[in-house]
Amino acid sequence: MAEATVEPRLRRAVGPWGSYSWGYADVGADIYVALGLVLAAAEGFSNIAFLFAGLIYVTVGLAYTELAAMYPIAGGGQLFVARGLGDFWGFVAGWAVLLDFTIDIALFALFSAGYFDHFFPGLSRPPWIILEALAIVLFLLGLNIIGVRESSRLNEVASALDIATETSLIFIGFFFAFDPAFYWHQFSAFAMHFDTSKLLFGTSLAIISFVGLESIAQASQETERPTTIVPRTSVALILTILAYALALSNLALGVIPWQSYDPNSTTIACQGLSHGACAAAHLAHQNAPVAWLAIHLPVVGAFVAPVIAVLGTLLLLISSNAGVYGSSRIMYSMAGNGLAPGIFTRVSARFRTPVISLVVFCAIAIGELIFSGLTPDAANTLGDMYAFGAASSYTLVFVSLLVLRYTDQDTPRTFRVPWNVRVHWRDVPFELPIVGVLGLMGISSVLLMVFLTHPIGRVAGPTWLILGLIGYMIYRKRQTRPVLHSIRHDWPEKQLAVYEESGETALAEEYREALKRRARKSQAVIPPEILQTPGEAKPQPTPDTTLSGRH
């Protein structure tokens, strides 16, 4: 169908539950993937790995909550970094998280097929499972071209069903299947032969799965009253996911041997099986780890496991969908801010969705699926590449949070990262978030873990960044724009436009007043259209208002 050029504006169609379910679809599904990977990597200390990752996740979540409420514009972490550190680092952050979102599409499509294959074990091995995942990606591409409202509804229904099922699984598991003696045996056995590299590897696998708050930030420009809704849904998501991840990881250690998730182990579930059959059994467990846990529940296990398999299939489907959505919105934002070719801002005249971005990044995800299918373990290959992008992007987001506390004190903050101390820098007072500093230290340590423990990630991740930077340099040179410095952005004007369009008129007026105070204090000049309240008569140009000052 021919596409007409229309104004690149996204449709505002996501409400409170839709905003929450976008995040839950991404993070809530992660336990369906990460449980098996982390148990195989961190063994008896997998609960410790999830705990360390969870603590860092809380700090990441709080940082994203403050920034997404401040800047409710499509772009997420990439936009925050561009606002705080400039165009070059904004591109680096966006390109790094794009690696994650494309792998998100591929990895969750792969595991969605894995849970579906709980009913068809013969399909759980390549090439069949890869072909299933490819079909899922193509389906989601079509769904997202149709529009965010339709894909949001899929998230909302599946998230509600999964919350009820996971809660029931945890309740039944701890009351009727959890064995404290077996739990202590697995924990103490690893402690006796403690392996730091395994714990670090498991922690890095756990932390990279906590990316749902990025999805909430991506959807903020399509969320109704975002500065009110985003903080509420983000905090609720932080608490929900942290509780589920810790509960299920501890439950698994008290119910099933961690070796059943390790493809290299021959001591569990392999009695009487050939080597090939043993590997197939482990692969089936690894591709549907929560369903394998549910099978071990007494009495109800035979009934609960199929339900978990169905919900895992659906939830991972919408988590892959969140990756499709997020990658297209990141590139939409980057192109709109002069960091990528403007063709990526092109919006379908019929559906008002960024079709070109959707097609490009689904194609990249398909390439990643095919590449992973050529390796001995597709899931671990994708997870290995996943780690670098998340750790790199989150590190830059924390730096931007600290910088923006100093450079942008005008923007209303409907949510603040807690535990702040007042400090002075160059005679300017500002509030330094202690949690932000701790989060920066934590995520930087994860980035170091990636380089130490991820053989594919430490090569593929930097290679991805280098290729992206080459493209960025070529694009900026052709546009006669600086490579290492920023072009001028009308951030206040864009921000006020979003406030007004989303109904946040009180915040818009508060922001205007802050800009006026800063202008009077610094004797700067600001364009009259920014200071003008909608509906007021346009002021006549004067020497004080016709020159544009950079905020």
Q: What is the mean pLDDT of residues 86-97?
A: 92
| 467 and 501 within one domain | no
Q: Is 480 part of any domain?
A: no
Confidence of residue 367 (pLDDT cuts 50, 70, 90): very high
Interval 24-59: pLDDT, tens: 766 777 788 888 888 888 999 999 999 998 899 899
What DSSP string runs through 104-115?
Answer: HHHHHHHHHHHH
Packing angle, helices 87-116 and 378-407, rounded to 10: 150
In a domain, 81, yes or no: yes
Q: Which residue has the higher pLDDT, 263 or 307?
A: 307
Domain count, the chain: 2
Domain span holding position 121: 21-471
Contact 358, 328 (CB under 8 A): yes
| Nearest by Cα to 155 from 278, 324, 2 | 324
Confidence check: pLDDT of 88 > 90 = yes
Is the pLDDT confidence value at 544 over 60? no
pLDDT at 230: 76
Strand, coil or helix: 432: strand
Tell me, what's the pLDDT at 154?
63
pLDDT at position 503: 75
Same domain, 203 and 299: yes
Residues in the chain, overall count: 551
User: What number is the average pLDDT over the span 518-546?
Assistant: 57
What pLDDT score was predicted for residue 523? 64
What phi-psi label fits residue 11: left (phi over 0), alpha (psi between -120 and 50 degrees) or beta? beta
**Residue 388 and residue 99 in contact, taking contact as beta carbons nearer than 8 Å:** yes
pLDDT value of residue 84: 92
Task: Judge if 450 and 513 occupy the same domain.
Answer: no
pLDDT at 345: 80
Same domain? 519 vs 370: no
With beta carbons less than 8 A apart as the criterion, state whether 530 and 496 touch: yes
Q: Which of 36, 327, 25, 372 is nearest to 206 (CA)?
A: 36
Which DSSP string do the residues of 365-404 spell out, in sequence order?
HHHHHHHHHTSS-HHHHHHHHHHHHHHHHHHHHHHHHHHH
Residue 13 lies in a domain: no
Query: 465 with 503, same domain?
Result: no
The last residue of one of the domains, among 442, 471, 500, is 471
Residue 540 or residue 415, greater confidence: 415
How far from each other are the two terminal CA atoms of the chain, in whole angstroms? 42
Of residues 481 and 328, more confidently modeled: 481
Q: Is the pLDDT of residue 151 over 60?
A: no
Query: Of 36, 67, 89, which is closest to residue 486 (Cα–Cα)?
Result: 89
Q: Tell me the mean pLDDT in the region 117-136.
A: 87
Residue 85 clears pLDDT 90, i.e. is over it: yes
Q: What SS3 state is found at 347?
A: coil
Q: How confident is the model at residue 5 (pLDDT cuts 50, 70, 90)?
A: very low
Q: Is the pLDDT of residue 463 over 70?
A: yes
Pairing of strands 428-433, 420-425: antiparallel
Let me know if 414 is exposed, middle or buried by CB neighbors in 10 A (0-12, 13-18, 19+): middle
Averaged pLDDT of the chain: 81
Give the least confident one: 219-233, 294-308, 331-345: 219-233
Model confidence at 266, pLDDT cuts 50, 70, 90, reads: low
State phi, psi for 9 to the nearest 5 degrees: -125, 130
The answer on 458 and 514 residing in a single domain is no
Q: What angle do CA 330, 333, 338 make, to 5 degrees?
A: 125
Query: Which CATH number characterizes residue 467's domain?
Result: 1.20.1740.10
CA Rg, the chain, in Å? 24
Provide mean pLDDT across the span 191-213: 80
What pLDDT is stored for residue 529 in this prediction? 58
Residue 11 lies in a domain: no
Confidence of residue 393 (pLDDT cuts 50, 70, 90): confident
Higher pLDDT, 522 or 37: 37
pTM across the whole model: 0.81
Q: Between 406 and 210, whose confidence is greater?
A: 406
Query: In terms of domains, do 461 and 520 share one?
Result: no
The single-letter code of the amino acid at 33 is V
User: Do 531 and 447 reside in the same domain of the chain?
Assistant: no
Between 51 and 535, the higher pLDDT residue? 51
Does 504 lie in the same domain as 395? Answer: no
Residue 311 confidence (pLDDT) above 90 = no
**Among the three residues 471, 504, 525, which one is the final residue of a domain in this structure?**
471
**317 vs 148: CA distance, rounded Å:** 15
With a pLDDT cut of 70, the percent of the chain lying above it is 80
Tell me how far CA of residue 120 lies from CA of 135, 277, 304, 316, 351, in angstroms.
17, 15, 17, 17, 36
Q: Which of 77-86, 109-118, 409-418, 537-546 has the lowest mean pLDDT?
A: 537-546
Q: Kindly indicate the confidence band of residue 547, based on its pLDDT and cuts at 50, 70 and 90.
A: very low
Q: To the nearest 5 percent, what fractions of the chain are helix, strand and coil?
A: 70, 5, 25
Tokens of 407: 């450079």
Same domain, yes or no: 503 and 428: no
Neighbours of 14 (CB within 10 A): 26
Write the DSSP assignment of 25-42 as a string of letters. Answer: HHHTTHHHHHHHHHHHHH
Q: Residue 543's pLDDT band (boundaries 50, 70, 90)?
A: very low
Q: Percent of the chain scored above 90 by pLDDT? A: 27
Same domain, residue pair 433 and 542? no
384 vs 523, more confident: 384
3 state DSSP class of 425: strand
Does 507 lie in the same domain as 450?
no
Of 22-36, 172-186, 259-273, 463-477, least confident by mean pLDDT is 259-273
453 within a domain of the structure (yes/no) = yes
Tell me if 7 is assigned to some domain: no
